[in-house]
Structure 1
Amino acid sequence: MDAIASNSTLLTHGKSWDDIFAEVNAWRGACMHHFSTVEMSVTETLLVLGAVKEEGQKVRLRHLIGQRFEDLAAAIGADGPFADKGKAAHAELSQYRASHEAFRALLCHGVAKVSVDHSGQWILLIRSLSIRARQAERGTLVMEQGEANTVLAKLKRDGQNLASVLGQLRKKVSS
């Protein structure tokens, strides 16, 4: 008798597909949590900067998170109204964006496939499609479980550093 295997079919090392998908989704959710924490800190900082700006200063607060990152960079950059108080935050923001912005786009907007190697470790393939200058731009990321855990740890550490520096900036400009 042939039976159709379910998603919970045991693969290897005591893991089923359901277990593996749960691990991948937990990892992806943890990444999203750390991105969201940073995004909230960026928005809170823009709100504080906008509330304390002086006459003639402009602090933009646009809808999309990528735009808010740009707005914060402009406000604390060399030509921004908070350039003096925001030097450390600007450096940290630039480093965070360079390290994590492309990964965020892939993770949030990409289509994922999961595979498993012979040792029971998952491998994630993420494909994305975006439009840049009216041209299709395709992205692909392949990540093994061990590498994914390293990326998550770096994302968490960098996000906590940026949120801390932005918190210090908010205190500086509010006092």
Structure 2
Amino acid sequence: MNAIPEQPVPIPIANNWGAIYTAVNAWRGECMHHFSSVELAVTRTLLALEAARPDDTTIQLRHLIGQRFEDLAKAIGPGGPFAHEGGGAAGYLAHFRERQEAFRAWLCHGNISVSVDSSGHWVLVLRTLSIRGRQAETGLDVIDQSTAERRLQELRTDGRKLTAALGNLREAAATRQAAK
């Protein structure tokens, strides 16, 4: 018997994929903007601390942003040359890193697929591949649109608080430098 294979029945997509991808990319771009603003503030702060450092200390100025976060934490943390001036900023820095560092890596280095749920909201499926202890480590995460929007708002708030605190720290460093 020669059966004719059934043709797939096209399912009408009520959503405009172009608009969905535009919305996802706008969300991702805004997240990247906030991360970039924080990273710029961290780098500017390290440079200001280097210019104002006491003669017997060193402020590290390493290449990778994760290293710069470490360098800043060391400079303004307990026992650091700017522990007194950086007390408030240290708390904001620790808070930002705790809440946002993994999100940044996820957003920047993950491979994202976009889907749409039954209500028409987008859903991101993110695949990651990293190497830990010379072993491949794969990850699969899913984030829906409302959670993504909430994460953006948290990033925006955490970033603004940290950049403001770092601005104050740069002013304190400039005052210290002027007093040299």
TM-score normalised to the size of structure 2? 0.89
Give the aligned partner of residue 76 of structure 1: 76
Structure 2 CA distance for aligned equivalents of residues 142 and 108 of structure 1: 15
User: In the alignment, is residue 128 of structure 1 matched against residue 134 of structure 2?
Assistant: no
Which structure would you say has the larger Rg? 2
Deviation at 1:73, TM superposition (A): 0.4
3-state SS, counterpart of residue 81 of structure 2: coil
Give the aligned partner of residue 171 of structure 2: 171
- Give the superposed CA RMSD: 1.6
Structure 2 CA distance for aligned equivalents of residues 17 and 108 of structure 1: 22
Check the 8 A contact 1:127/1:139 in 2, yes or no: yes
Equivalenced residue count is 167
Give the aligned partner of residue 100 of structure 1: 100
Structure 2 CA distance for aligned equivalents of residues 91 and 140 of structure 1: 31
Structure 2 CA distance for aligned equivalents of residues 128 and 80 of structure 1: 35
User: In the alignment, is residue 63 of structure 1 matched against residue 60 of structure 2?
Assistant: no
Q: Percent identity at matched positions?
A: 51
Check the 8 A contact 1:77/1:90 in 2, yes or no: yes
Structure 2 CA distance for aligned equivalents of residues 66 and 121 of structure 1: 33
Give the aligned partner of residue 139 of structure 1: 139
Structure 2 CA distance for aligned equivalents of residues 140 and 48 of structure 1: 40
User: In the alignment, is residue 156 of structure 1 matched against residue 151 of structure 2?
Assistant: no
Structure 1 CA distance for aligned equivalents of residues 46 and 158 of structure 2: 19
TM-score normalised to the size of structure 1? 0.91
Read off the aligned partner of 1:70 and give its amino acid letter. Answer: E
Unaligned runs of at least 5 residues, structure 2 = 1-6, 176-180
3-state SS, counterpart of residue 130 of structure 2: strand
Deviation at 1:16, TM superposition (A): 1.2
